[in-house]
């Protein structure tokens, strides 16, 4: 594929319900959408970075800048797809070529992943292949999972979980924080004795909190996600050693190399996989395969994406190492409507995208309404 242009669109989206966690509250959810063109092909990708650099150091405006100034020019200069098998799994070679083209730029995995997703999408679309086929995923659907943010009162959390259970969700994740942990979890567990429940601290604690966090062991949780800051692997190892509840690493897993360090340190017992956070589908698959080999269960995370990237996540969630339901919610989470269409949850499951490419092409009319800036980088 001779790449001719990389187009960026800034989607000015807002969440219907604020996303509140230990690191802050997100209401504005700008999405940097990427379209690659060349040789009559086109592909779409989106960047997972949030409005502010509070989840990781990346943020949407930074991703926009680094893509326009550094990543897109490098990718256009390098090109992709001169060789590669004419099969669905040919995407792996193209993903590796994108990674090579932008490897000289340090960091920015979410911005890199958006370009990779767009190139992979172009490749799959050209062959008429769904991403699921390319991954060898045959399941027609995967289990959904809901996330409940921190709230003002325990009653609010219990009511929200009740509504999710009513809607068919069989797995719920509660965000926890210092001063907001044992009490809401106990209340939800008391109300829903058999619900598959897990918690996510987003790095709010340290290794010195292991004894306190061990209080979670009595609630039969699937996991405690990211108890310590991303780089506090020793703290995480201390928590993992103290608790019966499995510790799941999310923010800490930034690359296959970081995974190896985490495994060597015993920093966690399972992995939440997000292709954006690790630099794309290629590294995500490498992490999946390594975890499968090492007997480390995975599940697929979410980044409040549009239906495009969420479709890719649903396909990833069908991989054999995905031992637990992912953060795959249904419904339209954007005030302005999801430009790529919302995923539907039916009987607690999300359908795996079976059209060509990584997911549905965003609707041009909906895009026109929410796009507030554009940039085109040409070869
Ligand atoms: Mg998380």
Contacts of 268 (CB under 8 A, 6+ apart): 236, 240, 246, 247, 248, 249, 252, 262
What is the rounded CA–CA span in Å between residue 53 and residue 38? 32
Cα torsion for 144, 29, 185, 314, to the nearest 10°?
A: 20
Using the mean position of ligand 1's atoms as its centre, give its distance from the Cα of residue 285 in Å.
19
Active-site residues, by number, are 175, 274
For residue 35, the surrounding DSSP H or E stretch is: strand 31-38
Neighbours of 141 (CB within 10 A): 17
pLDDT band at 84 (very low <50, low <70, confident <90, very high): low
Neighbours of 6 (CB within 10 A): 27
pLDDT mean over 13-33: 91
Ramachandran angles phi, psi of 92, nearest 5°: -60, -40
Give the pair of three-digit tokens for residue 180. Answer: 């907001």
pLDDT mean over 22-34: 92
pLDDT mean over 90-113: 94
* pLDDT per position as a tens digit, 229-274: 999 999 999 999 999 999 999 999 999 999 999 999 999 999 999 9
Using the mean position of ligand 1's atoms as its centre, give its distance from the Cα of residue 2 in Å.
37
Neighbours of 18 (CB within 10 A): 12
Specify the pLDDT at position 22: 86
Residue 373 has pLDDT above 80, yes or no: yes
* pLDDT per position as a tens digit, 169-190: 999 999 999 999 999 999 999 9
Using the mean position of ligand 1's atoms as its centre, give its distance from the Cα of residue 55 in Å.
9
CB of 108 closer than 8 Å to CB of 68: no
């Amino acid at each position: 594929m001779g790449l001719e242009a990389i187009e960026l669109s800034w989607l000015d989206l807002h969440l219907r319900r604020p996303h509140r966690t230990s690191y802050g509250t997100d209401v504005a959810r700008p999405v940097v959408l990427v379209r690659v063109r060349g040789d009559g092909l086109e592909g779409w990708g989106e960047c997972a970075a949030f409005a502010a650099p509070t989840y990781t150091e990346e943020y949407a405006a930074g991703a926009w800048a680094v893509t326009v100034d550094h990543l897109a020019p490098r990718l256009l200069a390098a090109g992709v797809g001169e060789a590669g098998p004419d099969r669905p799994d040919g995407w792996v070679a193209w993903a590796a070529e994108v990674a090579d083209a932008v490897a000289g730029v340090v960091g920015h995995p979410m911005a890199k992943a958006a370009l990779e997703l767009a190139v992979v999408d172009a490749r799959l679309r050209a062959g008429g292949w769904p991403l699921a086929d390319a991954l060898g995923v045959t399941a027609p659907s995967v289990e959904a999972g809901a996330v409940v943010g921190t709230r003002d009162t325990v009653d609010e959390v219990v009511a929200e979980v009740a509504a999710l259970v009513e809607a068919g969700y069989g797995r719920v994740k509660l965000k926890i924080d210092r001063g907001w942990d044992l009490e809401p979890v106990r209340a939800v567990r008391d109300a829903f004795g058999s619900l598959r429940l897990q918690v996510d601290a987003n790095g709010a604690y340290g290794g010195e909190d292991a004894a306190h966090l061990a209080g979670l062991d009595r609630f039969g949780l699937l996991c405690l996600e990211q108890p310590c800051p991303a780089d506090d692997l020793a703290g995480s190892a201390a928590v993992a050693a103290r608790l019966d509840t499995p510790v799941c690493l999310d923010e800490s897993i930034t690359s296959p190399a970081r995974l190896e360090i985490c495994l060597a340190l015993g920093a966690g017992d399972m992995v939440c996989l997000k292709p954006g956070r690790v630099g794309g589908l290629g590294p995500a698959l490498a992490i999946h395969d390594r975890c499968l080999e090492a007997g480390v269960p995975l599940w697929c995370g979410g980044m409040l994406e549009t239906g495009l990237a969420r479709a890719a996540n649903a396909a990833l969630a069908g991989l054999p190492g995905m031992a637990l339901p992912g953060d795959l919610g249904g419904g339209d989470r954007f005030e302005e409507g999801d430009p790529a269409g919302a995923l539907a949850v039916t009987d607690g499951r999300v359908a795996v995208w079976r059209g060509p490419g990584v997911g549905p092409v965003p609707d041009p009319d909906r895009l026109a309404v929410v796009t507030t800036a554009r940039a085109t980088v040409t070869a």
